[in-house]
Amino acid sequence: MKILVLNGPNLNLLGQREPSVYGSVRLEDINESLLFMAGELDVDLDFYQSNHEGALLDKLHAAIDECAAVIFNPGAFTHYSYALRDAVAAIGIPVIEVHLSNIHAREEFRHHSVIAPVAAGQIVGLGPQGYILALQAAVALARDAVFAGAEGTE
Ligand code: DQA
């Protein structure tokens, strides 16, 4: 089973970007701890980060055939990208939305996520730990889907 870990704009700058908001942990560090957890859970991970909406759309589309679930931090696209929202709704696999910061405690424009209504769930404000929790949730959701499918064929 493979899980896609998808990060949107500016998340490549984690560690040096506004450390008072996002902390000092780099995206590579987060990915390393995800790899460790993936080993424990016996799943494979595919990591992808892009600053381009179209590239994120293409990766979500490719996940239909390749992945059982997606962990997605859409960055600022969270708040206005109807195209990414439609892709999340279209792909038919669980997508867990993650934000390092508590978007509800920040500027007004960050309080709304256009992704949330079509995501399987949302984890906000827990820093890098949110990605680990999202991986556990993604695997549980994907495995449930496999069980549900298997029950249907019995
Ligand atoms: C973010 C929150 C967004 O509002 C912001 O634009 C980001 C990061 C987060 O992880 O807290 O780029 O998604």
**What is the number of other CB atoms lying within 10 angstroms of the CB of residue 87?**
24
Q: Which protein residues are within 6 Å of ligand 1, measured from CB?
A: 10, 73, 75-76, 78, 99-101, 103, 110
Domains of the chain with CATH codes? 2-152 (3.40.50.9100)
**What pLDDT score was predicted for residue 64?**
97
For residue 36, what are its two tokens?
A: 């460790």
**What pLDDT score was predicted for residue 53?**
98
Give the nearest ligand 1 atom to 106 CA: 4
**What pLDDT score was predicted for residue 145?**
78
Ranges of residues in the chain whose predicted pLDDT is under 70: 151-154
CA–centroid distance for 77 within its chain: 13
Sheet of strand 69-73, all strands in order from the earlier edge strand to the far edge: 44-49, 2-7, 69-73, 95-99, 121-124
